[in-house]
Structure 1
Amino acid sequence: MRLTLLALLAKESAHGYELKQALEQIFGGAYPSPNIGQIYVTLGRLEKDGLVRSVDVEQSNRPNKKVYHLTAAGREVLGTWVDEPSEGPRVRDEFFLKLVLAPASGTADRTAMINRQRRHYLGLMRDLNELAERTDPANRVALLLVEGAMLHLQADLDWLERCQEDLR
């Protein structure tokens, strides 16, 4: 959440609710809507760390609102994050650890485990298909996010087939 908020504040200063709305507008239903409390706690920590600063803005018929601005230190942290490659394939896959270790201990059957995991992935795929159908076609960001998740799931399903064949 920290780096996401820094990225949004790099574009323009905002208060917490505006940041929440920006995330919802950019990613639509494809990205879980953050809790507003989490946003404000994170903003407080970012301010404490010197990555953002806030100013109170008076409002005529409402309490003052706190508007956050990115600091030079925040811009530097954001630049480092953007320049670093993201994590790649997961070598320590929890399901694979279970698949290899549980049957050896006599606590599980590999075929049953693979079938259960496959059903889980297919359910997630159905959910993503439904989300894609509900997503505004003009929101290319949300659609690309959903498509990426679906492609990862398809790769996981293909990998399950490979596990079933090779671990007989």
Structure 2
Amino acid sequence: MRLHLMALLASGPAHGYELRQDLEQLLGAAYPQPNIGQIYVTLGRLEKSGLIEGEEIEQTGRPNKKTYRLTDAGREALRVWFEETADEPRVRDEFFMKLALAPRTGLADQIALINRQRRQYLNTVRNLSKLAAAEDGGNRIAQLLVEGAMLHLQADLDWLERCQEELEELE
């Protein structure tokens, strides 16, 4: 989340609630929104590391608020982040570890695990479809996020089918 907040600050100073609103507006309801406490903890850490600077702003009749802005070091860290590629193969998939280890434990049936995971993925696809319908052309970034998640889920469903076929051949 640190780099996401820093990227939002690249367009100008903001306080934590504004940053949360910006994330919600940009990514829509499909993106799990961080709580405001998490945002402020992250902002504190970024400030301590010199990637952002905070400034107290006086408000009449209200408590002061603290706005944050990106430092030169923060802008450089963002530039590096944008140049890096995202290389995260899913070889440490938690579900696959359950599937691989189930026969050794005798505590779970592999086909039952696959079926339970398939139901979970299908429920998630249904929920994402509802979110996509709710967006209905309004927020293109949010639509792309939902579409990408649904494509990943479809690939996961195809992979579950492949796992089941392989396991049934072994029997």
Does residue 9 (structure 1) correspond to residue 24 (structure 2)? The answer is no
| RMSD after superposition | 1.3
**Where does residue 86 of structure 1 map in the other structure?**
86
Give the C-alpha shift of residue 104 in structure 1.
Answer: 3.3
Moved more, 38-47 or 152-161: 38-47
Runs of 5+ unmatched residues, structure 1 = none
| Superposition pairs of residues 70-81 of structure 1, within 5 angstroms | 70-81=70-81
Q: Is 123-132 or 101-110 further displaced after alignment?
A: 101-110
**Aligned partner of residue 54 in structure 1, secondary structure:** strand
**Divergent runs of 4+, >4 A:** none
- 1:28-68 per-residue CA deviation (whole Å, 9 max, x = no partner) reads 11212221111111111111100100112222332222111
Q: Which runs of 5+ in 2 are unaligned?
A: none
Secondary structure in structure 2 of the residue aligned to 1:133: helix
> For residues 118 and 49 of structure 2, what CA distance do their matches in structure 1 show?
43
Residue in 1 that maps onto 2:138: 138
Does the residue aligned with 2:54 lie in a helix, a strand or coil?
Answer: strand
Output the amino acid matched with 1:161: E
> What is the CA–CA distance in structure 1 between the aligned matches of 2:70 and 2:135, rounded to whole Å?
31
Give the match's secondary structure for 1:119: helix
User: How many residue pairs were aligned?
Assistant: 168
How far is the alpha carbon of 1:87 from its aligned partner? 2.9
CA offsets per residue over residues 104-161 of structure 1, 9 Å max, x none?
A: 3322222111111111111111111111111252200001000100000000000001
**Amino acid of the structure 2 residue aligned with 1:145:** L
Give the structure-1-normalised TM-score: 0.94
Counterpart for residue 155 of structure 2: 155
- Rounded Cα–Cα distance in structure 1 between residues aligned with 2:144 and 2:71: 31
- Classify the secondary structure of the residue corresponding to 1:53: strand
Residue 165 (structure 2) aligns with: 165
1:119 matches 2:119 = yes
Give the whole-Å Cα distance in 1 for the aligned partners of 2:47 and 2:88: 31
